């Protein structure tokens, strides 16, 4: 036994010499190894499934990543994007310039067939993870989260994973496609797809024992009705995950309906828009009002966004029309690319052109023009999808100090915890 131990020690000592590890310099080597480990912790992999041409990619995905790189110059970021159609190198350079230092990989996104369509992405991602080690993975949304978790199930050493919950994908789909009367086959398809999305969310956010009670909120276009508890069978994925929710209301929903662990869900902070300096906002206000011929003393309401029914644009413009009847000194500033739609509706409401301005502005100049207003409109329909949200335009309004005029359908505006 003693001879065996001596032989083993000789082998280990020889290995140590080959690895240039001097036992007398153990503390120095430990410091070097710690430094190497710290460096490896600066490799971040970001996975998105809704593409880089998404309207919020620049402000909600790219901008926070660039901010992190400015704060930590040793941080190396790789972005994996699943695209419906691959973006050309020239267009990609405009979206994510090479000068940012972010490495971008694109994969084609197949038509949605539930988890079956995610398996290909999971396999492609798994192949990459076997070649390159990442210490942290950030997945945007449940679809990206599911395929990342599936890929990690096949790795022995699993990076830390955070899934960004930016809303309720299933409920957003139900809101867009399962309201009002529909042909039988069309409604069957939308119901199936809604079910698949809810199952994926359940698997990613914490479904237990293969199923979870989830509330299906479908008013059928006839007003609210009692919630229906439905069993959603789902494959339990065991990879540990942290969940970054955009609001306390969303966190509460994930815990209550998907049984997410309360301690695993935290509120997102990196994508908040920093408040604009008051003096800078005042300078913008003066300049833009002069540019748009808006009196310095006028009280100006602002609407920023597209002309979409779910944005409650008709109700918003009607609200302003009612305010204008009471006080004709009030004005409306609309910042939107849908110039014709807004103008036609304002004409229909018989509002004089002198009381409103409708124009489109580049995204980089949006805050500058918002600063010209006093209050921002944010109306939504009563729905769980809206209740748990944290709209980008809300953050933009607040960044330049606007009062937010709303109809109490967003928890972020009525809940003191926000």
29 domain residue, yes or no: no
Backbone dihedral region for residue 51 (phi beyond 0: left; psi -120 to 50: alpha; all else: beta): left
In this structure, are 65 and 214 located in the same domain?
A: yes
Give tens-digit pLDDT for 300-344: 999 999 998 888 999 999 999 999 999 999 999 999 999 999 999
Residue 33 placed within a domain: no
Cα separation, 52 vs 43, in Å, equals 21
164 and 131 in one domain? Answer: yes
| Structure token pair of residue 222 | 């006839």
Cα separation, 79 vs 45, whole angstroms: 6
Domain check: are 160 and 63 in the same one?
yes
**Token pair of 215 as six digits:** 């509330």
In degrees and rounded to multiples of 5, residue 264 shows phi and psi of -90, -10
Residue 349 shares a structural domain with residue 315: yes
CATH code of 343's domain: 3.40.50.2000
Specify the 3-state DSSP secondary structure of 114: coil
Collapsing DSSP states into helix, strand and coil, what is residue 69?
Answer: helix
With beta carbons less than 8 A apart as the criterion, state whether 111 and 82 touch.
no
What the block records as the tokens of 67 is 């901010």
Residue 226 lies in a domain: yes
What is the extent of the structural domain holding 150? Answer: 38-267
pLDDT of residue 384: 95
Instruction: Say if 6 falls within a structural domain.
Output: no
Walk along the chain (418 residues) and give the pLDDT tens digit of each residue. Answer: 435 344 433 433 333 323 333 333 333 433 443 343 344 458 999 999 999 998 889 888 998 999 999 999 899 999 999 999 999 999 999 999 999 999 999 999 999 999 999 999 999 999 999 888 898 999 999 999 999 999 998 888 888 999 999 999 999 999 999 988 889 999 999 999 999 999 999 999 984 333 334 343 333 333 333 343 344 444 445 566 899 999 999 999 999 999 898 889 999 988 888 899 999 999 999 999 999 999 999 999 999 999 988 889 999 999 999 999 999 999 999 999 999 999 999 999 999 999 999 999 998 899 999 999 999 999 999 999 999 999 999 999 999 999 999 999 999 998 755 5
- Residues 177 and 66 grouped into a single domain: yes
* pLDDT digit string, tens, across residues 207-259: 433 333 434 333 333 333 334 334 444 444 556 689 999 999 999 999 999 98
- Of the candidates 390, 397, 385, which has an alpha carbon nearest to the alpha carbon of residue 415? 390
Residues 65 and 147 in one domain: yes
Quick one: residue 179, left, alpha or beta (phi over 0 = left, psi -120 to 50 = alpha)?
A: beta
- DSSP letter for each residue of 222-247: S-----EEEE-------S--EEEESS
Phi first, then psi: give them for residue 102, nearest 5 degrees: -90, 130
Check whether residue 92 and residue 160 sit in a common domain: yes
3-state secondary structure of 303: strand
Query: Quick one: 208 and 314 in the same domain?
Result: no
**Domain count within the chain:** 2
Is 365 inside any structural domain? Answer: yes
Task: Classify residue 17: in a domain, yes or no.
Answer: no
Give the list of residues 6+ apart from residue 335 with CB closer than 8 angstroms, or none.
302, 303, 304, 305, 359, 360, 361, 366, 369, 370
Contact 109, 47 (CB under 8 A): no
Question: What is this structure's pTM?
Answer: 0.78
Residues 230 and 290 in one domain: no
Which of 234, 267, 300 is where one domain is finished? 267
């Amino acid at each position: 036994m003693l001879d065996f131990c001596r032989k083993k020690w000789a082998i280990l000592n020889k290995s140590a010499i080959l690895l240039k590890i001097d036992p007398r310099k153990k503390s120095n080597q430990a410091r070097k190894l710690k430094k190497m480990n710290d460096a490896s912790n600066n490799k971040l992999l970001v996975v998105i499934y809704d593409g880089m041409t998404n309207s919020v990619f620049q402000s909600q995905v790219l901008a926070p990543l660039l901010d992190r790189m400015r704060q930590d110059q040793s941080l190396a970021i790789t972005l994996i994007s699943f695209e419906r159609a691959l973006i050309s190198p020239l267009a990609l350079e405009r979206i994510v310039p090479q000068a940012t230092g972010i490495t971008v990989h694109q994969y084609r996104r197949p038509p949605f067939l539930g988890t079956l369509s995610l398996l290909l992405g999971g396999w492609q991602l798994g192949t990459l993870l076997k070649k390159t080690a990442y210490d942290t993975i950030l997945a945007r949304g449940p679809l990206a989260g599911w395929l990342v978790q599936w890929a990690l199930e096949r790795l022995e050493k699993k990076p830390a994973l955070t899934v960004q919950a930016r809303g309720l994908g299933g409920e957003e789909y139900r809101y867009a496609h399962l309201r009002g009367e529909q042909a039988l086959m069309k409604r069957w398809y939308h119901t199936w797809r809604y079910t698949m999305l809810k199952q994926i969310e359940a698997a990613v956010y914490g479904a237990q024992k293969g199923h979870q009670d989830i509330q299906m909120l479908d008013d059928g276009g006839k007003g609210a009705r009692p919630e229906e508890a439905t069993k959603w069978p789902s494959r339990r994925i065991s990879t540990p995950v942290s969940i970054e929710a955009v609001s306390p209301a969303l966190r509460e929903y994930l815990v209550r309906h998907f049984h997410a662990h309360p301690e695993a869900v935290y509120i997102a902070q990196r994508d908040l828009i920093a408040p604009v300096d008051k003096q800078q906002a005042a300078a913008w206000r003066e300049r833009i009002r002069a540019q748009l011929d808006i009196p310095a003393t006028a009280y100006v309401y602002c609407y920023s966004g597209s002309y979409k029914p779910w944005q409650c644009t008709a109700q918003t413009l009607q609200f302003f029309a009612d305010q204008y009847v009471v006080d004709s000194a009030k004005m409306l500033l609309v910042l939107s690319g849908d110039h014709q739609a807004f103008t036609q509706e304002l004409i229909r409401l018989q509002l004089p052109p002198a009381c409103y301005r409708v124009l489109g502005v580049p995204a980089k100049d949006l805050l500058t023009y918002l600063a010209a207003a006093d209050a921002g409109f944010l109306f939504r329909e009563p729905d769980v999808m809206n209740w748990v949200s944290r709209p980008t335009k809300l953050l933009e309004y607040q960044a330049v100090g606007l009062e937010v005029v709303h109809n109490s359908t967003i928890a972020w505006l009525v809940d003191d915890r926000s």
